[in-house]
Amino acid sequence: MIDRFEGDVAVVLVGENERRLEIPRKSLPRGVREGAWLQIEVEGDRLVSAMIDQAETDLARQRIQEELDRLRRGEHLR
């Protein structure tokens, strides 16, 4: 998933262990935003292809929003 943009560089966190990959922003699909989940193909540190995984992004957004709401209500303290 894309953690952030630093100027023309996109910082992508790859896989379970969130390996940090820095790739040119222009090599990513147009209109891609921070937080987007991607299906990517890499060779070493080189990006071969990238596709937005909208379904996974939406799932993560919903899951995270629910957890944040639980924290706000203090349900984890009970």
* Interaction site with other proteins (CB under 8 A): 1-4, 6-7, 9, 11, 13, 18, 20, 22, 34-37, 57, 60-61, 63-65, 67-68, 70-72, 74, 76-77
Query: With contact defined as beta carbons under 8 Å apart, do 54 and 17 qualify?
Result: no
CA-based nearest residue to 31, from 51, 13, 11, 47? 51
Query: With contact defined as beta carbons under 8 Å apart, do 19 and 12 qualify?
Result: no
To other proteins, the closest distance from the beta carbon of 6 in angstroms equals 4
To other proteins, the closest distance from the beta carbon of 49 in angstroms equals 21
Residue located via tokens 């222009």: 26
To other proteins, the closest distance from the beta carbon of 1 in angstroms equals 5
